[in-house]
Amino acid sequence: MMAESAAAAFEPALEAPIEINATKIPHPPHPYYPLEVEIVGYLANDLTVPQLLASFAAGCAGIFLVTYLAAKKMKPTLRGSELLQILWFVLCFYVYNFRRLGGSKHLFGQLWKEYALSDSRYLTQDPFVLCMESITAVCWGPLSFVVAHMIATEHPLRYPLQAIVSLGQLYGDVLYYATAMFDHLIMNLNYSRPEVYYFWGYFVLMNAFWIIIPIVLISNSISASGRAFKALAKVERCLNASPASPRKKNL
């Protein structure tokens, strides 16, 4: 008995199982960057990207068709360049409430949520985007529709207002790029997903239209204004040189 007790004393004791409380790493509640950013009431899109693009293209085609018919009715002699400018400004006539886009399920809400994969600021309380989109909703959106009407009716204030709206669009887009790049380079904040096509396809390419087209329209407005003042100066010289000129009679 004593031998068995001594042998048992040298046997290793059975270790109690060690329970490891593994910390579960929570999956991000959304696919946007930074992953920790809060998207209020986020709901995933129901539609696939091809479905969204097809729906958007169909919607744009309908808007463009109605705009084309209305513009042609107002001015049958519209040039192709004028018609394209009307379509552009009508396209710019939009208002979106980004604060509720996270939980939105309608077409434009899902389109913006798809675009926000390249810039999550559109789904958050970002101060710059909030201010920029507020100005767009109050000023540039409605004024774009006004400019489109002025082009169709050949209003004399068409070119000054076209330049103002285009400059506002250009300035806003430059700041939009600049603030994102500042946060990326200085603050080390990335608002775009790491896939290349989100940054270059969505963020860079899609916003480039609001850089290139406003520059063209501003140049167009400057040229038209220059021609108008040149013609006015020529008329004034002709009037001053005329024997019946009021200025000569006063002399």
Q: Kindly list the domain boundaries of the chain, sorted by start residue.
A: 31-227
88: which residues sit within 8 A by CB, 6+ positions away?
A: 213, 217
The predicted pLDDT at position 2 comes to: 46
pTM beyond 0.75:
yes
> How many residues are there in the chain?
251
Tens digit of each residue's pLDDT (9 = 90 or more) over 166-188:
999 999 999 999 999 999 999 89
Ordered DSSP codes for 65-109 = HHHHHHHHHH-TT--HHHHHHHHHHHHT-----GGGGGG--SHHH
Of the pLDDT bands very low, low, confident and very high (cuts 50, 70, 90), residue 27 is low
Percent of the chain with pLDDT over 90: 41
Say whether 49 sits in a helix, a strand or coil: helix
How far lies 101's CA from each of 44, 157, 206, 209, in Å? 11, 36, 19, 23
pLDDT above 70: residue 47:
yes
- pLDDT at position 101, please? 58
For residue 233, pLDDT beyond 80: yes
Q: How does the average pLDDT of the chain come out, rounded?
A: 82
Q: Return all residues near 104 (Cβ < 8 A) that are at least 6 apart.
A: 43, 110, 112, 113
- For residue 205, name the pLDDT band (cuts at 50, 70, 90): very high
Instruction: Report residue 107 as tokens.
Output: 């077409």
Q: Which two tokens stand for residue 161?
A: 């207002």
Tens of pLDDT, residue by residue over 107-124, are 778 888 899 999 999 888
